[in-house]
Structure 1
Amino acid sequence: MKKLAWFGLLLALPVLAQATTVTFSALTVREVGSFLTNLPTDFYGLQPAAAKQMMDTMEVFILDVREPNEFQAGRIPGAVNIPVRELPKRMGELPKGIKPIIVYCGSGHRGGMALVFLKGQGYNVKNIIGGFKAWSDAKLPVEK
């Protein structure tokens, strides 16, 4: 549980890094360093082909965290659109239990933020590395 709390801190780090008056204690720096050092190699990411294989072999929830106009322009078939900024207030739309969630955005950044948030909430979630761009570049199915 302690490690999941650090996921939340990762969301705040970019903002805190821009602040000029914030300093971290040596203990905080060591603990964050330890957490980052122990992240899994893939950090819960999936290459597009692996994500497609997972979608083909098991029941998954595909979550597109891009903006609605991006979603309308093209998406992974079967994806549900919940923009990352709306995710906290729309949690009720996500499957409960152990059903895996595959999340993606345009290039991976927003998907990574959603992954950190959802992992912190106890969800079984993976992020498509490189997002929709990598998916499209791999010539995987897209619907409009």
Structure 2
Amino acid sequence: MIRKQEITTFEFPENAVIWDVRDPSAYAEGHLKGAINQPINDISQALLTQVDAGQPIYILCGGGSKAPRAAEKLEEFDQSREYVVLMGGTRAAKVAGLPIE
């Protein structure tokens, strides 16, 4: 199941799995604290096995265009999981004052 959530109103659960699906250079320029770089082109079914099946995967990108595509790709691999697209991405997180590394 794919759900959308505005990043500016999102309460990050403890131990949340947050995937930043931008390329490594964009990720290195600044990313949401705690986000793991999982470029959209590297997403695979094998990657999903590294995350507990009951845990939602939160997905973001720079501005909101890659994250929905990544969620759709993940859903093709496993429809029983919950994928949450963080709308607005890293740019909105910066504007909102969320912690950026």
Same fold flag (TM > 0.5): yes
Q: Within 5 A, what are the aligned runs for 1:1-144?
A: 44-51=3-10, 53=11, 55=12, 57-88=13-44, 91-92=47-48, 94-120=50-76, 121-122=78-79, 123-143=81-101
Compute the displacement of 1:96 (Å): 2.7
CA distance in 2, matches of 1:93, 1:69: 25
CA distance in 2, matches of 1:81, 1:113: 16
Q: For this pair of structures, how many residues does the alignment match?
A: 99
CA distance in 2, matches of 1:88, 1:107: 22
Point out the structure with the larger strand share: 2
Point out the structure with max Rg over C-alpha.
1
Compute the displacement of 1:49 (Å): 2.8
Name the % identity: 24
Relative to structure 1, is the Cα distance of residues 83 and 93 closer, same or farther in structure 2, using a 3 angstrom cutoff? farther
The unaligned stretches of length 5 or more in structure 1 are: 5-42
Compute the displacement of 1:89 (Å): 6.3
Relative to structure 1, is the Cα distance of residues 119 and 89 closer, same or farther in structure 2, using a 3 angstrom cutoff? closer
Equivalent pair of 2:45/2:74 in contact (CA under 8 Å): no
Equivalent pair of 1:60/1:101 in contact (CA under 8 Å): yes
The unaligned stretches of length 5 or more in structure 2 are: none
Cα deviation 1:108-128 (Å, max 9, x = unaligned): 111010111223323211011
Structure number with greater CO (CA < 8 Å, separation at least 6) is 2
Runs of at least 4 residues of structure 1 off by over 3 A? none
- TM-score norm. by structure 2 comes to 0.84
- TM-score norm. by structure 1 comes to 0.61
RMSD, aligned CA: 2.0
Point out the structure with the larger helix share: 1
Cα deviation 1:52-94 (Å, max 9, x = unaligned): x1x1x44310101000001111111111111101112652564
